Amino acid sequence: MSSGHGGRHAPGRAGAPSDGLLGPVDSAVRDLDPVVKLVCLVVGVVAVVATPPPAVWAFGVYVLLVVVSARAARLPARVLLRRLGVEVPFVVFALALPVVGAGPREEVLGLSVSVAGVWAAWGILAKASLGVAAAVVLAWSTPVADVLVGLERLRVPRALVAIAGFMVRYLDVVSGELRRLGIARVSRGDDPRWLWQGRAVAATAGTLFVRSYERGERVQRAMAARGFTGRFPVTSAAPDRAPVWWPAATIPLLALATAAVAVVT
């Protein structure tokens, strides 16, 4: 029996997915229906992907739209830039394209680069950055539970929604396990900064995989024993009413118009 306020949980939130990416401030974007936000995100990303890389001006318009969305969500610029770091692997891949690309080549600072590779690298960097930035705005302004509810209301296959829910729920669990394994390794004199200790890092990764797999099996058996049917109970406070599309739809519509002009011209 809990006697202190700190030992209580918010009603209806037990077992809810982690909201570690959610911002602590209220905003106009947070009040929007999750279905509206998800549809706007998908439409905007499709418009960005459909834009040919040589239409540099169009990507400038997309950056302006993302900035407007971030301001409406009250997302600090430093947080947005820090979370863009998740696209570093794409940056590394894109930077290699001008060197290894085929087709006509030009001399730039004494280095022969592929013209097609330069445009391909620019397209990957621009589109990946805009897509990640839009996803960051969504994560900052939308609880994970609301995203899952929105996906169900959009008739996304239940199996995919369940997989996404499990992934988010156990991301913190797996991250905590990794931290504990790292602390145990360092406490035994390991120093992962040196190349010859890569074997210990690989062993840690293997141990993490095995423990995560075994935990998943135990969770699956426990949920099946409790009658889990593949559908999570709704823990979101998102209202089940007709979504209001205006003025949120303005940004994706502008993105679509920009993409259409860029393709035509």
146-160 pLDDT, tens per residue? 888 888 888 888 888
| 178 shares a domain with 113 | no
Confirm whether 20 is domain-assigned.
no
| 28 Cβ neighbours under 8 A, 6+ residues apart | 72, 73
Picking from 35-49, 105-119, 182-196, which range would have the lowest pLDDT averaged per residue?
182-196
Higher pLDDT, 227 or 130: 130
Task: Please check whether residue 149 lies inside any domain of the structure.
Answer: no
Task: Please check whether residues 33 and 138 belong to one and the same domain.
Answer: yes
Q: Give the distance, in angstroms, between the CA of residue 250 and the centroid of all CA atoms in the same chain.
A: 23
Percent of the chain beyond pLDDT 90? 29
Are 82 and 199 members of one domain? no
Alpha-carbon distances of 69 from 39, 66, 84, 138, 161, rounded to whole Å: 14, 5, 16, 9, 26
Name the range with the highest mean pLDDT among 49-63, 188-202, 229-243.
49-63
Beta bridge partners of 112: 107
Q: Do residues 31 and 132 both lie within one domain?
A: yes
Is there a single domain that holds both residue 61 and residue 113? yes
pLDDT of residue 112 exceeding 50: yes
Across 164-169, average pLDDT: 80
5 assigned to some structural domain: no
Same domain? 59 vs 169: no
Is 103 contained in some domain?
A: yes
- Domain of residue 59: give its range: 27-143+241-264
Surface-to-core class of residue 215, CB atoms within 10 Å of its CB (0-12 exposed, 13-18 middle, 19+ buried) = middle
Report residue 203's pLDDT band, with 50, 70 and 90 as the boundaries: confident
Is residue 123 a part of any domain in this protein? Answer: yes
The whole-number pLDDT of residue 195 equals 62
Contacts of the segment 13-18: beta carbons below 8 A, 24+ positions apart = 13/235, 14/235, 15/169, 15/235, 16/144, 16/145, 16/235, 17/144, 17/145, 17/148, 17/165, 17/168, 17/169, 18/144, 18/168, 18/169, 18/171, 18/172
Closest CA to 166 of 212, 122, 100: 212
Model-level pTM?
0.73
In total, how many domains does the chain have? 2
Is the pLDDT at 240 greater than 50? The verdict is yes
Tell me, yes or no, whether 32 and 107 share the same domain: yes
